[in-house]
């Protein structure tokens, strides 16, 4: 699943292609949206903002209308020169927005919905989201409040993936953050101090921000390095599935005792 940095990066690409540019056409090839008449609803409206919160992306149009997208496991946003070749087949496109210069395409959904601006503020799913790990000013206090209100017996790795606690962290940054903070992912939330868990956030925020800016990819410390020597202590990196939803955890048993 794309993590928060990938979604914020997509929002920047989409925004650069749409903001200040006249929209020539909007298409919704996916049959489930055929009866929604979105092209008619959005014709003549300009995109005034494109932003992200965690793993959610929002295209905000004039007239109090917003397209909300969540890519889940297989979705993607693409921005191409007008008429250029797309990186996925056209039959997999759910949304196509064309300007004179670009085709902006959302592929493979599966969450794509048009809502009013007011609904984006009060929709229960969106209102329940925790603070965005990539917010300009991360709300430490709100993050800790949500963490401490949760089940203290579950592992800190599971809590960091809960988008109601903090938005934007996935399996990559959870594993990397726990390593950089020297925190075992298997510690129970009730056994972890505020400073320890905040260090995870503070370690990964600048790395994720660099990723959003398009900086060069840094070598992973532990993610997908099972069996390889730790870059700090040479102990073999370990790997284990987490819970029952096919998510994975990588960690160094020496650095993260």
Model-level pTM?
A: 0.93
Q: Which of 22, 31, 39, 55 is catalytic?
A: 55
pLDDT, one tens digit per residue, over 29-65 is: 888 777 778 888 898 899 999 999 999 999 999 999 9
Q: Which of 3, 158, 176, 203 is catalytic?
A: 3
Report the alpha-carbon distance of residue 127 to residue 145 in Å, rounded.
15
Q: Is 55 a catalytic residue?
A: yes
Residues with Cβ within 8 Å of 157's Cβ and at least 6 positions away in sequence, in order, are 174, 175, 178, 185, 186, 242, 249
Q: Which of 2, 131, 158, 174 is catalytic?
A: 2
Q: Is 224 a catalytic residue?
A: no
pLDDT at 244 over 60: no
* Other beta carbons less than 10 A from residue 71's beta carbon: 23
Predicted local distance difference test score (pLDDT) of residue 143: 98
Report the alpha-carbon distance of residue 43 to residue 23 in Å, rounded.
8
Tell me how far CA of residue 159 lies from CA of 69, 156, 163, 167, 178, in angstroms.
24, 5, 9, 11, 12
Report the alpha-carbon distance of residue 211 to residue 220 in Å, rounded.
13
Q: Is 142 a catalytic residue?
A: no
pLDDT, one tens digit per residue, over 182-236 is: 999 999 999 999 999 999 999 999 999 999 998 657 789 999 999 999 999 999 9
Range from 81-90, 147-156, 207-216 carrying the lowest mean pLDDT: 207-216
């Amino acid at each position: 699943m794309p993590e928060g940095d990938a979604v914020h990066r997509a929002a920047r690409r989409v925004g650069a292609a749409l903001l200040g540019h006249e929209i020539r056409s909007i298409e919704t090839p996916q049959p489930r949206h055929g009866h929604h008449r979105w092209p008619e609803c959005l014709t003549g409206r300009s995109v005034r903002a494109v932003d992200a919160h965690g793993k959610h992306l929002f295209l905000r149009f004039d007239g109090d209308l917003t397209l909300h997208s969540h890519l889940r496991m297989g979705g993607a946003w693409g921005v191409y020169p007008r008429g250029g070749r797309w990186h996925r087949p056209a039959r997999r496109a759910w949304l196509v927005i064309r300007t004179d210069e670009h085709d902006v395409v959302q592929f493979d959904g599966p969450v794509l919905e048009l809502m009013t601006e007011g609904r984006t503020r009060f929709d229960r799913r969106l209102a329940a989201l925790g603070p965005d790990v990539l917010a300009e000013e991360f709300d430490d206090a709100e993050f800790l409040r949500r963490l401490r209100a949760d089940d203290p017996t579950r592992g800190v790795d599971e809590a960091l993936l809960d988008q109601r606690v903090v938005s934007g962290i996935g399996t990559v940054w959870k594993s990397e953050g726990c390593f950089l903070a020297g925190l075992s992912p298997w510690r129970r939330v009730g056994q972890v101090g505020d400073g320890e868990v905040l260090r995870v956030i503070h370690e990964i925020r600048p790395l994720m921000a660099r990723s959003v800016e398009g900086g060069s990819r840094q070598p992973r410390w532990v993610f997908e390095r099972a069996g390889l020597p730790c870059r700090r202590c040479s102990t073999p990196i370990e790997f284990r599935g987490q819970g029952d939803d096919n998510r994975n955890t990588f960690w160094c048993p020496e650095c993260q005792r």
